[in-house]
Amino acid sequence: MGDTTGQAPADNQPPGPVSTTDPAPQQQPQPEPAEPDYKALYEAAQAKLSKAEQTARSNKDKAKRLDEIEAAQQSEAEKAAARATAAEQQLAGLRRRAIDAEIRAAATGWADPTDAPRYLDERDRYIGDDGVIDTAAIAHDLAAVLAARPHLARVDGPRRPAPDPSQGPRDSGPSGIAGQISEAEARGDWVTAIALKNKRLRDLAAQQH
């Protein structure tokens, strides 16, 4: 056997584990995002807007042409009916204005004759089929309105002072007005009769104060 004295002992320990993973790569800096091309975006938006406006104008022109075609295709009977309806509406307006004018003219006993038309309902009934306005019916209805609403009557002149009983009755007092009322009723002047009755009521009320 050979002499092994002085030789280093053999290393009997197993070798350590060998790493199979690659070393972590070094992180590279991210590039900064590029700035949007605002000019290109604006031009694209402008192109879309121009196209939309052009489409809208085209649709409007088409609709106008369709309306013109429809109007051209309208029958003569429909056109005549439309003209008749317009004429009837115009005639109704003229009749209403004529009736209102007659009502205001008949409202002689009213404080404000322009208020009279709105107190008469269904004013078309005052005009006949022949176009003649029934002024007598208007005067009768106006007198009825004044009888129900004395505050609408006209007051002629300032209020007179209460009469002195010691001076006896006067022609302008209640007894004199009564005669005037009778005369107005005999003539069929209902507006004057109503106005005189209202005046008599005011005079009687003044005497009580």
pLDDT tens for each residue of 133-150: 888 999 999 999 989 998
Provide the pLDDT for residue 25: 60
Residues 6+ apart with CB under 8 A from 81: none
User: Which is more confidently placed, 36 or 16?
Assistant: 36
**Helix, strand, coil: what percent of the chain each, to 5?**
60, 0, 35
Which domain, by its residues, includes 58? 48-207
Provide the pLDDT for residue 130: 82
d(CA 21, CA 39): 50
Domain count, the chain: 1
Which structure tokens are listed for 4? Answer: 């092994």
Residue 175 has pLDDT above 60, yes or no: no
Query: 11-25, 107-121, 125-139, 180-194 — which is least confidently predicted?
Result: 11-25
- Asked if residue 147 belongs to a domain, the reply is yes
- Asked if residue 23 belongs to a domain, the reply is no
- Asked if residue 5 belongs to a domain, the reply is no
d(CA 17, CA 33): 45
**CA 3 from centre of chain:** 130
Is the CB of residue 123 less than 8 Å from the CB of residue 100?
yes
- Asked if residue 3 belongs to a domain, the reply is no
- Asked if residue 7 belongs to a domain, the reply is no
pTM of this prediction? 0.39
